[in-house]
């Protein structure tokens, strides 16, 4: 049975955490996020959807110009075979370099690992150990607590937040990130108080991966796989 590595955190000996943002670019919300990151001196990773990168290329360029990392988050968010290869044709063209860091949309590993790019030796599949579920709340305080009170939070944590949405309806796409934007300055400030610095995923040393294999029984190593098929599983070996 072929197993594929999934990196869910960095090593615990470096005082670093990775803020990661999914489902953008989403102007003007992504630009608002960039201002917050600049004011706090934080660097982040943006897992970008191909259809939005195609529609809003200038926002991707702004993300890159601000020194952040752009990763591949699929093209349509529909879990189609080849979705990440299609996204790469757009994202790689904008960044000028092949994507090395990718994240399955809704953590659907089954669909994701059917794309050729996901299985390349130079590709890193990035999961997370903290998911704030910010996409389903309108209360910034809930998002703050979901991150800062999470039992896994510490050096090496990879935190998932959202600056966009896969939804074509502009009102949803523009409204969904607002609570996260209100929560983020407090999150970054508290992380700094704890001696944790916000870096890109390529600026931290990744810990040993977990592994996904098709057809394996579901385990609770990734407890927030919302919408992912329950055939998905991550194991230590």
22 is catalytic: yes
Q: Which of 22, 23, 129, 131 is catalytic?
A: 22
SS3 state at 210: strand
| Residue 163 annotated to the active site | no
| Tens digit of pLDDT at every position of the chain (237 positions) | 789 999 999 999 999 999 999 999 999 999 999 999 999 999 999 999 999 999 999 999 999 999 999 999 999 987 777 899 999 999 999 999 999 999 999 999 998 999 999 999 999 999 999 999 999 999 999 999 999 999 999 999 999 999 999 988 999 999 999 999 999 999 999 999 999 999 999 999 999 999 998 765 333 334 333 333 333 456 665
pLDDT given for residue 82 in this prediction: 86
The pLDDT of residue 218 is 35
Catalytic one among 68, 162, 163, 225?
162
**pLDDT, tens only, 97-142:** 999 999 999 999 998 999 999 999 999 999 999 999 999 999 999 9
Q: How far apart are CA 226 and CA 113, in angstroms?
A: 18
Tell me what pLDDT residue 225 has: 39
Largest CA distance in the chain: 47
Instruction: Tell me how far apart the alpha carbons of residues 88 and 100 are, in angstroms, rounded to a whole number.
Output: 10
CB 166 within 8 A of CB 48: no
What per-residue confidence (pLDDT) applies to 96? 96
What are the phi and psi torsion angles at 162 (to 5°)?
A: -135, 125
- Starting from the edge strand earliest in sequence, which strands make up the sheet with 210-212, in order? 4-6, 210-212, 234-235
Q: Which long-range contacts (CB under 8 A, 24 or more apart) does 216-219 make?
A: 216/1
Q: What is the pLDDT of residue 81?
A: 78
Q: How far apart are CA 57 and CA 50, in angstroms?
A: 10
């Amino acid at each position: 049975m072929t197993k594929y590595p999934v990196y869910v955190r960095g090593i615990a000996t470096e005082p670093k955490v990775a803020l990661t943002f999914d489902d953008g670019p989403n102007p003007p919300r992504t630009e608002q996020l960039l201002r917050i990151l600049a004011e706090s001196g934080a660097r982040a990773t943006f897992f970008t959807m191909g259809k939005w990168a195609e529609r809003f290329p200038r926002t991707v360029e702004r993300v890159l110009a601000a020194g952040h990392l752009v990763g591949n988050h699929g093209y349509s968010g529909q879990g189609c075979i080849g979705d990440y290869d299609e996204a790469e044709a757009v994202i790689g063209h904008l960044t000028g370099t092949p994507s090395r860091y990718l994240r399955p949309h809704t953590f659907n590993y089954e669909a994701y690992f059917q794309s050729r790019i996901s299985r390349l030796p130079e590709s890193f599949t990035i999961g997370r150990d903290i998911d704030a579920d910010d996409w389903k709340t309108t209360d910034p305080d809930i998002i703050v607590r979901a991150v800062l009170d999470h039992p896994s939070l510490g050096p090496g944590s990879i935190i998932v937040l959202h600056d966009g949405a896969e939804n074509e309806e502009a009102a949803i796409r523009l409204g969904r990130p607002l609570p996260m934007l209100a929560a983020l300055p407090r999150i970054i400030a508290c992380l700094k108080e704890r001696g944790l610095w916000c870096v890109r995923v390529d600026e931290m040393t990744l810990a040993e991966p977990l592994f996904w294999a098709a057809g394996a029984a579901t385990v609770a190593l990734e407890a927030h796989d919302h919408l992912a098929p329950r055939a998905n599983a991550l194991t230590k070996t």
